Amino acid sequence: MKNTYDIIVVGLGVMGAATLWRAASKCSRVLGVDAYGPTHSYGSSQGSSRIFRRAYWEGDNYLQLLNHADLLWNELEQTSQQQLLFRTGGIFIGPQSSRVVAGSIRTAVQGAIEHELWDWSKITNRSPAFNIKRGAQAVYEPGAYAIAACDARLEMLNEAVKHGASTDFGHRVVHLENDGSDVRVTTNGGRSYLARSVIVTAGPWIADNLLPELKQLLEPRRVPIYWFTPKVGFEKLFAAEHFPVFLYEREDGALLYGVPSITGNETGVKIGFHNRQHTPASPDCKAIPVQQRYVTEITSIVESLFPALERSPTKAANCFYTMSPDESFLIGKSKILESTYFASACSGHGFKFAPAIGDALADLSTGQPASSSLSEFSANRFD
């Protein structure tokens, strides 16, 4: 039948694009549906850069997914024949007892990940862009890199289409329901599809009409990102070949991240808070400017940490984090709908995992053993 598919992926941000890519390589009739266009900037996947790291301070329970994701990111780059990964290395800085330093060391040792321990003197010599207080320590991971995020996501969609997948952009899925052993997918334009399996990767929209069973476990938040340009004469200091992706945990627990400019449409260093400046928000509230008090706060911190950057950001924009209660992922199978799987929330650190999670979901939806274990991220842990 024309509108019957093996797999339908709902939501084509990076998680959905990765799932569509991997699903299209495993079965013949695959469809991806998204409410907006291929390059919209309303969700959590927009922007030109993301960090990939394996010395994961958040815990070694992520290692299997990270290792598989690393392989698939490299496969995607080789297939695309364009540079998607920028080998900057990564530096994770904080007080010796900080979560970032202690956790990164723990995971690096557990996973046999190449890393170096830097004291204040070595940080200053090797990464002179940073103005760090004496006593700080760092973990340097030479294998960390920056991902050209928008280009990589579009390449996933290209690869999916090359493998025979279809896409339906500009139509929001408003209802999922069981139809015998299949699942019926209905859009706001009245289109109706049947699928043997459905995978929902709709980010902050996932519980709206789609999987209300997850409603109590999700909180969409608006989170600002900033871009700072180097002062005249200091451009080389922040170039991708000299400036690693970074995490920086302050003594008060605030965690900053940053990425050098790796594409022409994102100039300057991208910097933001991972665990501060969060505002609960509806995902349909678009183009809301960043609050001035947030700009003032980040400006003060960046001015002290990076004296060679211009004091004020050249750009500030909001993105979405969809948070779970414990800030880990929600990935699993619906308890209500037949053969329906989901991946959300990703709690602000899921982008790097997308190829591995997409591959595992594609396996599950085709009845195969998952390429990576997802049991750690089941919603059942909150029962």
Query: What's the token pair of residue 123?
Result: 């940080």
Residue 193 lies in a domain: yes
| Confidence at 321, pLDDT banded by 50, 70, 90 | very high
| Whether pLDDT at 20 is above 80 | yes
Residue 121 in any domain: the answer is yes
* In a shared domain, residues 202 and 253: no
Does the pLDDT value for residue 47 go beyond 90? no
Which of these three, 290, 323, 356, is where a domain ends? 323
Query: For 129-151, how does the pLDDT look when each residue is reduced to its tens digit (9 = 90+)?
Result: 999 999 999 999 999 999 999 99
* Residue 136 sits in the same domain as residue 180: no
Question: In the numeric block, which tokens belong to residue 270?
Answer: 């991208």
**pLDDT tens, position by position, 95-112:** 988 999 999 999 999 999
| Domain assignment of residue 80, yes or no | no
Name every residue whose Cβ is closer than 8 Å to that of residue 379 and which is 6 or more positions away in sequence: 214, 217, 330, 332
**236 in the same domain as 345:** no
Quick check: is 295 in a domain?
Answer: yes
The answer to whether the CB of 341 falls within 8 A of the CB of 229 is no
Rounded mean pLDDT of 70-79? 98
Measured between alpha carbons, how far is 155 from 82 in angstroms, rounded to an integer? 10
Same domain, 178 and 270: no
Judged on CB neighbours under 10 Å (0-12, 13-18, 19+), 169 is middle
Inter-residue contact 104 to 57 (CB < 8 Å) = yes
Neighbours of 55 (CB within 10 A): 27
Helix (H) or strand (E) holding 73, with range, is helix 63-80
**205 within 8 A of 11, measured Cβ to Cβ:** yes
Q: Output the average pLDDT for the chain.
A: 95
Binned at pLDDT 50, 70 and 90, residue 72 comes out as very high
Q: Please report whether residue 375 resides in a domain.
A: yes
List pLDDT tens digits, range 184-220. Answer: 999 998 899 999 999 999 999 999 889 999 999 999 9
How far apart CA 72 and CA 84 sit, in angstroms, is: 12
pLDDT tens column, 336-371: 999 999 998 899 999 999 999 999 999 999 999 999
Same domain, residue pair 160 and 288: no
Q: Please count the CA atoms within 13 angstroms of the CA of 359 that sit on its side-chain side.
A: 19
- Percent of the chain past pLDDT 90, that is, above it, reads 90
Segments forming the whole domain that contains residue 131 = 86-145+219-323
Same domain, 141 and 187: no
| 107 occurs within a structural domain | yes
Are 12 and 151 in contact by the 8 Å Cβ rule? The answer is no
Q: Which of 323, 352, 372 is the last residue of a domain?
A: 323
- Residue 47 or 325, more confident: 325
Residues 25, 127 within the same domain: no
Q: How confident is the model at residue 1 (pLDDT cuts 50, 70, 90)?
A: low
Contact 361, 19 (CB under 8 A): yes
**Above 90 in pLDDT, residue 264?**
no
Q: Are 256 and 188 found together in one domain?
A: no
**Would 35 be classed as within a structural domain?**
yes
Residue 53 lies in a domain: no
3-state helix, strand, coil in the chain (%, to 5): 30, 30, 45
Instruction: Mark which of 280, 307, 323 sits at the end of a domain.
Output: 323
> Is there a single domain that holds both residue 244 and residue 308?
yes
Measured between alpha carbons, how far is residue 62 from residues 32, 111, 222 in Å? 27, 10, 25
Q: Are residues 244 and 356 located together in one domain of the fold?
A: no
234 and 139 co-located in one domain: yes
- The per-residue pLDDT for 208 is 84
Percent of the chain's residues with pLDDT above 70: 99
For residues 241 and 319, state if they share a domain.
yes
CATH (domain of 287): 3.30.9.10
What's the confidence (pLDDT) of residue 195?
A: 97
pLDDT tens digits for range 267-309: 899 999 999 999 999 887 767 899 999 999 999 999 999 999 9
Specify the number of domains making up the chain: 2
Is the link from the previous residue into 287 a cis peptide, with omega within 30 of 0? no
**What's the half-sphere exposure (Cβ side, CA atoms, 13 Å) at 68?**
18
CATH number of the domain residue 12 falls in:
3.50.50.60
Indicate the burial class of 317 (C-beta count within 10 angstroms; 0-12, 13-18, 19 or more): middle
